[in-house]
Amino acid sequence: MTVLLLALTAVLVGAVLQRVSGTGVGLVVAPVLSLLMGPGAGVLATNAATTCSGFLITLSVRKLVEWRHAAVLVAAAVPGIVAGAFVVRVVPAGWLQVAVGLVVLAGLAITKFSPATPYASRRATAVPAGVVGGFFNATAGVAAPAMVIYSRVTRWDQVRFVATMQPVFMGMGALSTASKLAAGVHFSLPVPAVVALAALVATVLAGIAVGTWLSHHLSKATAQRLAMGLAAAGGVVVVVCGALTLLAG
């Protein structure tokens, strides 16, 4: 039960930040759940959480979503997700835990510190961005860094980007969850699945409500810095735990 409460707390924080800044659920939840549940199950649970949060947040920003663009990115993510599901199945837990943490930290560093990149058209970059995002989502639960870089390269309007990412995260999360379940990756819950799902939905809705209120009182830059700090701390912890697992083995 303690694991469930800690996981829901991470989801709540991630949902608040995602409603305020556009990203947050994967970056915050993936390190926490990987630590609590192990890397394979933790990322699978993160995928389920991002599916739920993406769907619910999409409802509130649906008028700003570029639906055709979102569909292209999700479709392009499929091969990356399939490859990622296979990696999760065959890579030892310790190595995968280190990889999850490093991917989170590298993605955060790229997102925060990468220099301005030259312009490229969506036609040339949408498919590669979708593939990479899908692979990152399936293996580490964090597609956001790849999508942020893509938005910079294509000079995507920030408001439209934030809105369109919600159905993209939803689609990638759903495909990643389905592919891993099909590949035999599972996780156990301390409560019945229907109870856990209801708790997840309620937590995400609470996060959206708090995030909507905060969006009127908290700057986007502040929310993004908070998300980066929490995700970085979680990423470091996961890398250390994975390294300790490898040393113990």
Mean pLDDT of 125-140: 91
Q: Does residue 137 contact residue 173 with C-beta atoms inside 8 Å?
A: yes
pLDDT band at 249 (very low <50, low <70, confident <90, very high): low
Q: Which residues contact 91 (CB under 8 A, 6 or more apart)?
A: 99
pLDDT digit string (tens) for 12-24?
Answer: 988 888 887 777 7
Q: Which residues contact 79 (CB under 8 A, 6 or more apart)?
A: 131, 134
Instruction: State the chain's mean pLDDT as an integer.
Output: 85
- Distance between CA 37 and CA 44 in Å, rounded? 10
Q: Which of 192, 150, 180, 154 is nearest to 168 (CA)?
A: 150
Q: Does residue 189 contact residue 4 with C-beta atoms inside 8 Å?
A: yes
Which amino acid is present at 166?
Q
Mean pLDDT of 24-36: 82
Backbone angles phi, psi at 199, to 5 degrees: -65, -40
pLDDT digit string (tens) for 84-97?
Answer: 888 888 888 788 87
pLDDT band at 115 (very low <50, low <70, confident <90, very high): low
End-to-end, the C-alpha distance of the chain in Å comes to 28
pLDDT digit string (tens) for 58-76?
Answer: 998 899 999 999 999 999 9
pLDDT band at 30 (very low <50, low <70, confident <90, very high): confident
Instruction: Please tell me the pTM assigned to this model.
Output: 0.82
Neighbours of 194 (CB within 10 A): 8
Spell 174-192 as b/e; 16+ CB within 10 A means b. Answer: bbbbebbeebebeeebeee
pLDDT of residue 69: 96
State percent of the chain over pLDDT 90.
Answer: 29
pLDDT band at 216 (very low <50, low <70, confident <90, very high): confident
pLDDT band at 7 (very low <50, low <70, confident <90, very high): confident
Q: Does residue 235 contact residue 105 with C-beta atoms inside 8 Å?
A: yes
pLDDT digit string (tens) for 138-155?
Answer: 888 888 888 888 888 888
pLDDT of residue 86: 86
